[in-house]
């Protein structure tokens, strides 16, 4: 077992004073303005001059904007969050150029989560208290779990979600001890009836958190639709809808964290399907259920936790016919309609559709791990 330093973020809720809330609101507004203006300048430079603007050039633009008579208010917040906005925009462009995401979009007030990142020179951490730049009092943080002993935060990100809740994410360098090696390997088949089916035969039930609160959510959305735009009652109704969404997201994320932690702790190798969720949600009949399952978020959790604790996560080609392949003899059936939940192979083995798929994924994952990619069978 090795001990490796990793970057970890610890997220807590905090309750700002009225003065802190007002100062943070101005900071969020400035961050949004700088991001949008820099995005507009970079888009204009490309469309009119076919020229890319670098981060260093956009940073010089920010200095010039602070001196303009109409935007002198950009000097009110700390410089750190404004520079962080430019770095986030640069990262968005890098992902776009690598074809990982779409083109960066403008940030709209009230439509997305407000956030501001403070670097180490823009906040202080003493005696278990954090004080942001240009604020007098430390933040009233609810320390739901302690930070690792002796760590020093390198940056913090404060945010306000659509439900009006404030959170702070503290980035530290922590020493993580790898889990003891084990010979257990696991295949995971994603589904909707059962959230995940494991190659061991275990089926993880789907909590369907969105479905549980669907009636409350629909009632709140109907009430919101009847309120006059711009009124205080509409703001209250919008907040009620946002709180229901926040409750759904929190419960779903908690469930996925617990499940991913258990699987990483118990298994050395975890094989999963390389699902294209973006294309799958285009199915009108299944889009809501697929979004509620949050397969992409679960895969992200598995991958970074496996990296921390010395495990391996292998993604099997999304076109690999795991459901049609017999996990006992390897024979591939010509077809396997969705309504067939149990079938018998010519070799005599009776298969549960999902368990067999998980076993096939496990075998394919081990093949990928040993020989590299290329487990998709040749097309006839």
Q: Which residues form the catalytic set? A: 189, 273, 354
At 101, list the tokens: 């995401």
- CB-CB neighbours of 353 under 10 Å: 20
- Helices 18-49, 55-67: axis angle to 10 degrees equals 120
Alpha carbon 368 to its chain's center: 26
What single DSSP character describes residue 329?
Answer: T
Q: Considering only CA atoms, which of 39, 117, 37, 124 is closest in space to residue 78? A: 117
Tell me if residue 126 falls in helix, strand or coil: strand
In angstroms, what CA-CA distances link 207 with 193, 243, 248, 254, 256?
Answer: 10, 19, 11, 12, 10
d(CA 88, CA 16): 25
Cβ-based neighbour number of residue 322 at 10 Å: 27
Residue showing tokens 């739901």: 144
- For residue 173, list its beta bridge partners: 7
Checking phi first, is residue 235 left (phi over 0); if not, alpha (psi -120 to 50) or beta? alpha
312 strand-pairing partners: 269
Q: Is 233 left (phi over 0), alpha (psi -120 to 50) or beta?
A: alpha
Distance CA 352, CA 67 (A): 68
List alpha helices for 12-147, DSSP H: 18-49, 55-67, 79-97
Report d(CA 100, CA 98) in Å as an integer. Answer: 6
């Amino acid at each position: 077992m090795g001990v490796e330093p990793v970057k970890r973020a610890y997220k807590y809720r905090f309750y700002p004073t009225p003065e802190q809330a007002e100062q943070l609101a101005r900071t969020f507004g400035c961050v949004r303005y700088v991001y949008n203006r820099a995005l507009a300048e970079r888009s204009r430079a490309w469309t009119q001059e076919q020229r890319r603007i670098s981060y260093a050039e956009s940073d010089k633009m920010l200095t010039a904007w602070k001196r303009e008579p109409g935007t002198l208010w950009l000097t009110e917040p700390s410089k750190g969050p404004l520079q962080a906005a430019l770095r986030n925009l640069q990262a968005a462009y890098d992902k776009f150029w690598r074809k990982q995401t779409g083109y960066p979009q403008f940030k709209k007030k009230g439509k997305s989560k407000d956030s501001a990142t403070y670097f180490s020179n823009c906040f202080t951490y003493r005696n278990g208290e954090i004080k942001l730049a240009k604020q007098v009092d430390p933040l009233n943080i609810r320390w739901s779990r302690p930070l690792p002993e002796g760590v020093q935060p390198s940056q913090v990100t404060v945010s306000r979600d659509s439900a009006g809740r404030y959170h702070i994410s503290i980035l530290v360098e922590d020493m993580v001890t790898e889990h003891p090696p084990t010979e257990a390997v696991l295949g995971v088949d994603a589904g909707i009836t059962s959230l995940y089916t494991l190659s061991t035969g275990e089926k993880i039930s789907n909590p369907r958190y969105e479905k549980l609160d669907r009636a409350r959510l629909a009632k709140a959305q109907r009430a919101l639709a009847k309120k006059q735009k711009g009124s205080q009652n509409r703001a209250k109704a919008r907040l009620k809808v946002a709180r229901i969404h926040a409750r759904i997201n929190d419960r779903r994320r908690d469930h996925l964290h617990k499940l991913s932690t258990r699987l990483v702790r118990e298994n050395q190798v975890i094989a999963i399907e390389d699902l294209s969720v973006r294309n799958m949600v285009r199915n009108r009949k299944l889009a809501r259920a697929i979004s509620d399952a949050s397969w992409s978020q679960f895969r992200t959790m598995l991958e970074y936790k496996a990296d921390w604790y010395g495990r391996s996560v292998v993604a099997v080609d999304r076109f690999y016919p795991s459901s049609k392949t017999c996990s006992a003899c390897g024979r591939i059936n010509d077809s396997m309609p969705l309504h067939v939940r149990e079938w018998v192979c010519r070799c005599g083995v009776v298969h549960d559709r999902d368990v067999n798929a998980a076993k096939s994924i496990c075998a394919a994952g081990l093949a990928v791990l040993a020989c590299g990619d290329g487990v998709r069978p040749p097309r006839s």
